[in-house]
Amino acid sequence: MIAVWLKIDEKRVAQALQEAEEKLDSVDGEMALDLSSVRRIDPNALRAMEEFADIADTKGVKVVLRGVDVGIYKVLKLVNLASRFSFVS
């Protein structure tokens, strides 16, 4: 069951992920992040996603990414991050 659902703004991806990290403790099971408005990510955001994945792993929270643009999906794939998330359209 999805406990928390967050929409990520393209202009502040890294900050949004930091805020999401703070909510991880209160999540039971899954957290969904809506990236449908994100058209491009920069290295900062990429680093933030990796950190977020690390923390979610340690807390045993499954992270579901919603509405990920295929160009971004490719970026995640190239840096071996794609396998650490689940994806829904």
Partner 1 sequence: MATHEVLPARVQFPIVTESLSEERIAYLERLVSQARAAAAVFTQFTQEDVDRIVKPMVLAGLDQAQRLARLAVEETKLGVMEDKVIKNMVATEFVYNYIKDKRTVGIIREFPERDLVEVAEPIGVIFSITPITNPTSTVLFKCIMAIKTRNAVIFSPHPNAWRCCSEAVKIMYETALKHGAPEGVFACLESHTLQDNAYLMRHKDVGLIDATGGPGAVKAAYSSGKPALGVGPGNTPVYLEKTADLTTAVTDIILSKTFDNGTICASEQTAVIDDEIYDLVLKKFAELGAHICNEEERALLARAVIDPKTGLMLPMAVGQRATDIARLAGLSVKPDTKLLIAPIQGVGRGYPLSAEKLFPVLAVYRAKSVDEALKVCVDVNHAGGLGHTAVIFSRNEEVIRKFSEVMNAGRILVNSPGSVGAVGGVYNDLAPTFSFGCGTGGGNSTTDNVNIYHYLNLKRVARRTQAHMWFRVPNQIYFNMNAVENVHQFPSQSTIIITNPALEKFGHVDIVRRYIPAGTHVHVSVIPDAEPEVKVVMQGVEALNFYRADQIIALGGGSVIDAAKIMKLKYESPQADLEELAAPFLDLRKRVIQYPTEKINRARLIAISTTSGTGSEVTPFAVLTDKERGRKVTLADYSLTPDVAIVDPQFVISMPKGLTADTGIDCLTHALESAVSSYASAYTDCNAMQAIRMAFKYLPIAYEHPRDEEARSMMHNAACIAALAFSNASVGVNHALAHAFGAHFHVAHGRANALMLPHVIAYNASVPMKFLPSPYQKGYIAHKKYATVADLLGLGGHTIDEKVKNLVAATEQLLDQLGFPRSIAELGISKEEFERAMPELTKFAFDDPSWRSNPRMPLMSELAELFWKAYQGRSPAKVADAVEQQTV
Nearer to partner 1 by C-beta: 17 or 32? 17
Q: How far is the CB of 31 from partner 1 (least distance, A)?
A: 23
What are the residue ranges of helices labelled H in the chain? 13-23, 43-58, 70-78
- Burial tier of 84 (Cβ tally within 10 Å: 0-12, 13-18, 19+): middle
For residue 85, give the amino acid letter: F
Which residues lie near partner 1 (CB under 8 A)?
Answer: 40-44, 46-47, 71-72, 74-76, 78-79
Nearer to partner 1 by C-beta: 16 or 61? 16
Q: How far is the CB of 62 from partner 1 (least distance, A)?
A: 23
Q: How far is the CB of 80 from partner 1 (least distance, A)?
A: 9
Q: Distances in Å between the alpha carbon of 80 and those of 11, 50, 64?
A: 24, 10, 16
